Amino acid sequence: MDKMPVFVKVEEYDDVLNTMDTIKNRLEAAKATLAKINQLKQEEDSQLQNWQTALSEIENRISSVDQLLHEPEKF
Amino acid sequence: MNQKNSKKMAKKKANKRVVSKKKVETPYFIGLNDPIEIRKNLLEPTREVIQFLQSYEQFKKIKEEKTQTILQLKEDFRLIKASINALRRQLPRGKIKLEKPSENIKEEVQKERKKPVKKTLTELDALDQELGNIEQTLGNL
């Protein structure tokens, strides 16, 4: 059963090859689209990381101000 | 006229009393160490927040672009599927189904009749059905 040969008519063979080319081209296009999604995801991740850093920085500075407010100058 | 004047005088006196009370209250101040550092530590976060708001707009654009690209990928896959189906149609169909005994076929028919028929198929249901058909075909190969 699995070794049965497949015969294609000569006049349809070109169509089959053309369809194969189309599939290959569309696969390449899908690969490019996926790569773009990946790149955009990396940009998003990078932006989130930046926000994380900025938030930590703000927290540190506010904490520093808080500390200074609780330690008034002594005369 | 006299009444008006007397009212004005009374108001002025009242105001003077308020002012004199305010003058009596002595304000107290607390000296803060390193005021420049405090100002700096308050300005820097403000700058960071403004930068965040700017980058948020950029992030929103990236997100929108990503959504569009995902839709594009869906379209790409749809086209690939259409091309593969076209190829399948172009290739000859072999008799790949094995002949089954008649009893088994009857049982299968009865089982299929018992299954509830869905009236409305969503896109996901249609894909499930298609996947089932393909797996069945592959199983028969």
* Percent of the residues in chain A that have a pLDDT greater than 90, as a whole number: 63
What is the rounded distance in angstroms from the CA atom of residue A61 to the CA atom of residue B47? 12
| Cβ neighbours for A6, distance < 8 A, ≥ 6 positions apart | B91, B92, B94
Confidence (pLDDT) at B23: 64
Q: Is A30 on the interface with B (CB under 8 A)?
A: yes
Closest residue of B to A5, CA-based? B94
Residues A12-32 have a mean pLDDT of 94
Under DSSP, is residue A72 helix (H, G, I), strand (E, B) or coil? Answer: strand
Tell me which of A22, A49, A62, A74 to substitute to probe the interface with B (most B C-beta atoms closer than 10 Å): A22
What is the rounded distance in angstroms from the CA atom of residue B77 to the CA atom of residue B127? 13
Under DSSP, is residue B45 helix (H, G, I), strand (E, B) or coil? Answer: helix
pTM, whole model, 2 decimals? Answer: 0.64
Closest residue of B to A36, CA-based? B69
Confidence (pLDDT) at B25: 81
Higher pLDDT, A35 or A8: A35
Confidence (pLDDT) at B73: 97
pLDDT tens for chain B, 141 residues: list them. 455 666 666 666 556 555 555 567 888 888 887 888 889 899 999 999 998 999 999 999 999 999 999 999 999 999 999 999 999 888 877 655 555 555 665 666 666 666 655 556 788 888 888 888 888 888 877
Confidence (pLDDT) at A54: 94
Query: CA geometry: angle at A35 spanning A34 and A39, to 5°?
Result: 115
Confidence (pLDDT) at B123: 81
**Which residues share a beta bridge with A72?**
B32
**Own/partner pairs, A19-23, CB within 8 angstroms, 24+ separation:** A19/B83, A19/B86, A19/B87, A19/B90, A20/B87, A22/B83, A23/B80, A23/B83, A23/B84, A23/B87
Check: complex ipTM more than 0.85? no
What is the rounded distance in angstroms from the CA atom of residue B32 to the CA atom of residue B60? 41
Structure tokens at B5: 């004047």
Q: Is B85 on the interface with A (CB under 8 A)?
A: no
